[in-house]
Amino acid sequence: MKSALKFLLIILLSILTLNTYSEVFTVTSNADSGTGTLREALQKAADNGNLEKDFIYFNLPDLSEAGRTILLNSELPELTSNIEIDGGTQKGLNFGLSSAKIGISYIQTNNSKLSGLRIYNKEDIFIGGIFLKNTIDFDKTQTSLYCIGIDIRRSKNIQIGASNRGNVVSGFANLIMTNNRYSETVDSTFNITIKSNLIGLEADGATSSLYPNGITEFYKVYNKIIVGGSNGEGNTIINGLSISYNGNKGNYKTDILIKGNNIGVNFFADEVLGLHGLDITNGTLNSNETIKIEDNVISNLNGDAIHIYDNQQDVTILRNYIGTNKSKTKVFKTGGIFIYSCKRVNVGSDNIIDANYITNCNPITIWSSSNISVNQNSFYCLKNVAPMYNDATANLFHPTIEILNSTTTSVSGIATPNSKIELFYTDKCNTCSPENYFASIFADAEGKWSYNGSLKNTVIASATLNNSTSNFTVPEINVTNIKVISNCDGTGSITGITLGFITSKRWVNERGETVGVDTNLKNATPGYYQLIVEYGTCTTVSKFYEIGESIKLNESSIKITPICGDKLGSVKGLFFRNSALIKTQIWKDQNGKEWSKDLDLIDVPSGVYTYYITLEKGCETISQQYIVNEAVPPIIDQSITLISNSTCSQSNGSIKNIKVIGSGILNYTWKNQSNQIVGSSKDLINQPAGKYILEVKDESSCGPIYSSEFEIKEINGISSNQNSLKITAANCNKSNGSIAGLIISGATTYQWFNEAKQAVGNNLDLTGQPPGKYTLIANNENCVKDFGPFTIDLVTQKNYGIPNNTVLFPTCGEINGTIEVNFKTDIAPSKYDWRKIGGASLNINSNKITNLDIGKYSLFLIDENGCEQFINTYEVKAGRPSMAIVNNSWKTTADNCGTATGSISGIRFNYENGPNDFSWFNDKGDVVSNERDLKNAKSGNYRLLIKNQYCGNTFDFYIPYKEEFLPQAIVSDIFICAPTVINLNIKEIADSYFLYDESGKLVSQSSKNQMNLKMLENKRFALTYKLGNCESEKAYFNVNIGTSSISVPSAFTPNDDGVNDFWTIKGLELYNSAKVSIFNRYGQEVFKHQGGFLNFDGIVNGTKLQTGTYYYVIKLSEDCSPLSGSVMIVN
């Protein structure tokens, strides 16, 4: 049963694979979907299977950039395996500086996520010659992780671009991304190559795209990563390249090549735009990849140009330019190279041509790494320079080196024994950087090294041993044992510093004044001091160290807060410097009780307080005495307060009879509910309805106190609450403004009036009004009150100006008219609404409408308020008709015997000048001719595509098949002297030749018109030839061995009597290379002949030979023995 199922499965698979074959799908339309579109081509390729490679080529008829740009409203289908998409097959100019000839532009989508091209679980894909662009401005805070240019997941053998077939990827938050780490499923991809692309830029190579911070990320790609290559294959990646992993993938060894690219800078390498550089991160130890970073220009405005993290295999960094371009004429803001937790990293080499050029940054920082060699590079004009190795690397081996002496003719020092010493001259900017390498030497077994020779500048040295390089030499200030002492007498010292080899040293104060030239600074007055040491043009500067004064208290800002009620007192604002010198500090009261060690004394009872400071050196400083007293706050008695309410809209209310007790002069402040001051006396009078609070201050230090809230009410009054008021402006030149949300209390009737004092409404909410000012009158039987005015604004109609119009009429009998309008102002409508006269809206929100039939079309613009504005009506008229062929104007010639002799010629067209572009296609869709006439064609169906500058058309033709009679080959008998191999030359030109023996058995077959036959005996043969499918009849001939066919006459009588006048050798004509010589009796040659047929008349050079006996020698061929004898001539 299992065998039967297996057999059926094999048969089924065989049937399924019969329909998969290599196909070329040609894109002829730049529409989003439909016949001839890219979307259709991708679907056809998917339907065709992937056992054979499919190709998507382009032949868009409009060669303008717009005509070669495919505008998309939704994502394209996923790419299928084994496919090549080649925009370079399109005619027309490249986009900008790129080699792209086809644009793919996303202009809108209904999805919050967008991937320009999707490659999911596929393999063997090439994309070239494409300008892939997104113009949709997504919410960058929400969807940036899902706006991806080329989205690659779980795939293998993917190549993006090649020399002269590079791509442009622009406008995406993530430009090229593998295995989106933020997606639900993350797997691995194998073998990625990107070459000759512009990534993150427009096609001009200089303009940033919609998402200027869009990155290119290769996440979990194994086996091989190639970015760039030799000349013409480098990429421009404007915002950096990230390569990262989360662990190993089995035992795969991943090789990474980053070569010849511009990373972080534009195409011209004259401006740095990127916020990322090159970042290669493993996330795990013991990884297997090798990394080569060569011949790149790399800069990063926001961090390291090159960042390598957790790599345990070989890394080489050669011939790169960081902070500058390859001509070193530009200087860029950038970081340098950062290496973390790596082994076997080589920056530069032992060959000066591999030097990296790094400027305007700290060139190399190494953390927790070993075996890092830095050789023969050029570092110059550096900033923020620090030692290469940080503290985290202190426990790992790296050599050391020190210069002990330097003159104009020699330099010497000590280093790790047996290490290789590299010597450099300092840079032109005097930043003590190793710019110009000039020599290498070795330290001896004791670590001593020296170099003798003329020295042109200050020398910097490094040491390398076991693939590990030391820090570069600089004038060294060792502050490990530094001591800064401030004495009680107001002097101090800085001691314990040790120095390396230097040529000068000096101490300076804060003003830059030199205060000492010894290593130790002594007897210095209080202040800040810095040590500066120099070696040639190299300078090292210490930080500033402070020699402090004896403690001096600053008591100018002291503030004492007395005790007020249950709130305790405080003393704040005490200040002093040199806290490092203090041994003890404490606040004490008059009884010696300790209260606080803090500068601010808080929450203490009444008393006398003093601050005491004791210094380490035995000095003591004491503050003044500060007294904290107890204060009594004022008191408000509102138990018998009298409140008089106001009447309708009158300011006749009051608050009286409040009692206040306090110290000294009392100050009163009344405030209403809007926090406005409305009174300064104890009694508040002449106030409208509302809520009020009294503030009282006396001359104590306790601060103001406040009454509770009093309310003056309105008798029979009307009040309003406008917290929910909403005024809607009038727009679109209509009376559609409104005032709503007012809350009126106490009113029974309402009436609204406009500015002309005309009544316009009698409800609380006012609706359906034009722009203007409106007042509400509210009434009850005792009170009338007005509210307002309230203003209804006008939303003015936008002035879009007069647009530039382009109207293209339909051509070729198709529905392909176009209307395009472009406004000169910067004011953009919210929506375009195109309407065909006599029909409904076309629902096209664009300044350009295409695929139009004959008719009139009106354009309306709608602003963000929904206001509609008519712009114009445009007429699309009939254009040029389609091209057609004049009936029966052509001649068809059949294909004879399948030999590609068919033709179609003489076609005439209905246009005067006719088409100027011809393409003949066979039934496989292959172009077989670009001539007007189709020639040398086999039988079959053919399609002719014709074009002129206006339109094109296609026509189908058929070339029939016929068979013609082929005549027999022209052959004759062959005579040879002896068994040999003969060469049979055939006159007829044919595809193949066949030789049969007398019984009809095939004995030889050849595609050439020659055959070699080994002849041992006389035989009879038949020869045929074949043209295409037709074969000639058999032609028979004999091959005879021997000379029996030769008959030589012994005499002849050349006397012109018509009898025996010629010496004719019968059978000689069968030997084309025969040679005949005649000699006289003296052995002199009197006649010779070469060739087959001979008819000798006895005349030589116009003279008859005399009567007599002559002797002949006949050489029939090289294989035949000569024939000889005599011949009598009788005149």
Q: Residue 923 belongs to a domain with what CATH number? A: 2.60.40.10
1033 and 983 assigned to the same domain: yes
The pLDDT value given to residue 15: 35
Residue 294: its pLDDT value, please?
96
Length of the chain: 1131
Encode 121-153 in three state secondary structure.
Answer: CCEEEEEECEEEEECCCCCHHHHHHHEEEEEEE
Q: State pLDDT tens for residues 898-949.
A: 888 899 998 888 765 667 788 999 988 899 899 989 999 999 999 988 887 7
Nearest Cα to Cα of residue 893 among 954, 928, 942: 942
pLDDT band at 2 (very low <50, low <70, confident <90, very high): very low
- Rounded to 5°, the CA angle 538-539-545 comes to 165
Specify whether 579 is located in the same domain as 624.
Answer: yes
Residues 253-265 have a mean pLDDT of: 92
Q: Looking at 795, 812, 845, which one is the last position of a domain?
A: 795
Residue type, 1069: E
CATH number at residue 1063: 2.60.40
Backbone angles phi, psi at 17, to 5 degrees: -80, -10
pLDDT for the residue numbered 961: 87
Least confident among 407-411, 892-896, 1067-1071? 1067-1071
Average pLDDT of the segment spanning 67-77:
92
Residue type, 593: K
Same structural domain, 623 and 650? no
Residue 1012 belongs to a domain: yes
More confident residue, 796 or 94: 94
Show the tokens assigned to 658.
């409040």
Same domain, 980 and 1031: yes
Mean pLDDT for all residues in the chain:
86
Q: Are 659 and 673 in contact (CB under 8 A)?
A: no
pLDDT tops 70 at residue 12: no
pLDDT in tens, 718-758: 888 888 999 988 888 788 889 999 998 888 899 999 999 89
Residue 913: the pLDDT is: 61
Mean pLDDT of 177-188: 75
Higher pLDDT, 859 or 187: 859
**What CA–CA distance (Å, rounded) separates 115 from 930?**
38
pLDDT band at 115 (very low <50, low <70, confident <90, very high): confident
Residue 598 covered by a domain: yes
Q: Is residue 411 part of a domain?
A: yes
Q: Where among 842, 876, 910 does a domain terminate?
A: 876
Sort strands 337-348 and 364-367 into parallel, antiparallel or unpaired.
parallel
Number of Cβ atoms within 10 Å of the Cβ of 445 = 7
* pLDDT-based confidence at residue 1122 (cuts at 50, 70, 90): confident
Tell me whether strands 538-541 and 504-509 are parallel, antiparallel or unpaired. Answer: unpaired
Cα 1094 to Cα 1112: distance, rounded to the nearest angstrom: 13
Kindly tell me the burial class for residue 913, based on how many C-beta atoms sit within 10 Å of its own C-beta (0-12, 13-18, 19 or more): exposed
- What are phi and psi for residue 906, nearest 5 degrees? 80, 20
What is the C-alpha separation between 175 and 242, in angstroms, rounded?
11
Do 821 and 785 share a structural domain?
A: no
Domain identity same for 599 and 645:
no
957 and 978 both lie in a single domain: no
Instruction: Look up tokens 């529409």; give the residue.
Output: 31
Q: What is the mean pLDDT of residues 881-892?
A: 83
Q: Is residue 673 part of a domain?
A: yes
pLDDT at 7 over 70: no
The answer to whether residues 1068 and 1123 belong to one domain is yes
Q: Give me the residue label for tokens 């300078």.
A: 539
Report the C-alpha gap between 725 and 732 in whole angstroms. Answer: 23
Reduced to 3 states, what is the DSSP secondary structure of residue 391?
helix
Q: Are residues 640 and 711 in the same domain?
A: yes
Provide the domain limits for residue 926.
891-962
CB 308 within 8 A of CB 274: no
- Distance between CA 204 and CA 217 in Å, rounded? 23
Distance of CA 1010 to CAs 17, 398, 666, 994, 1119, Å? 43, 79, 137, 11, 20
Residues 143, 175: Cα–Cα separation, whole Å: 14
With a CB cutoff of 8 Å and minimum separation 6, the contacts of 985 are 1009, 1010
Q: Please name the residue that has the structure tokens 């011939």.
A: 319
- pLDDT for the residue numbered 26: 94
**pLDDT attached to residue 403:** 93
CB-count exposure of residue 555 (10 Å: 0-12, 13-18, 19+): middle
Q: Which residues contact 590 (CB under 8 A, 6 or more apart)?
A: 607, 608, 609
Q: pLDDT digits over 836-869, tens only?
A: 888 788 888 988 999 888 888 898 888 887 888 8
**According to the model, what pLDDT value does residue 580 have?**
56
Edge-first strand listing for the sheet containing 378-380: 69-72, 102-106, 130-134, 168-170, 198-199, 236-237, 262-263, 297-298, 321-322, 357-359, 378-380
Predicted TM-score of the model (pTM): 0.53
In a domain, 754, yes or no: yes
Number of domains in the chain: 9
Nearest in space to 955 (alpha carbons), one of 936, 937, 942: 942
Instruction: Tell me what percent of the residues of the chain surpass a pLDDT of 70.
Output: 92
The residue ranking higher by pLDDT, 548 or 604, is: 604
- The end-to-end CA distance of the chain, in Å, is 104
Within-domain flag for 1031: yes
* Inside any domain, residue 810: yes
Phi, psi of 826 (to 5 degrees): -85, 0
Of 437, 453, 474, the position where a domain reaches its end is 474
Task: Check whether 1045 has a pLDDT greater than 80.
Answer: no
466 lies in the same domain as 406: yes
Of 163, 92, 97, 104, residue with least CA distance to 130? 104
- Provide the pLDDT confidence category of residue 319 given band limits of 50, 70 and 90: very high
442 with 417, same domain? yes
In a domain, 1114, yes or no: yes
**Strand duo 498-499 + 927-929: pairing:** unpaired
Dihedral (CA of 668, 672, 676, 679) sign? negative
Q: What pLDDT band is residue 5 in, cutting at 50, 70 and 90?
A: very low
Q: What is the pLDDT of residues 492-516, one digit of tens each?
A: 899 999 988 888 999 999 999 999 9
Residue 487, both tokens? 């004495």
Residues 901, 863 share a domain: no
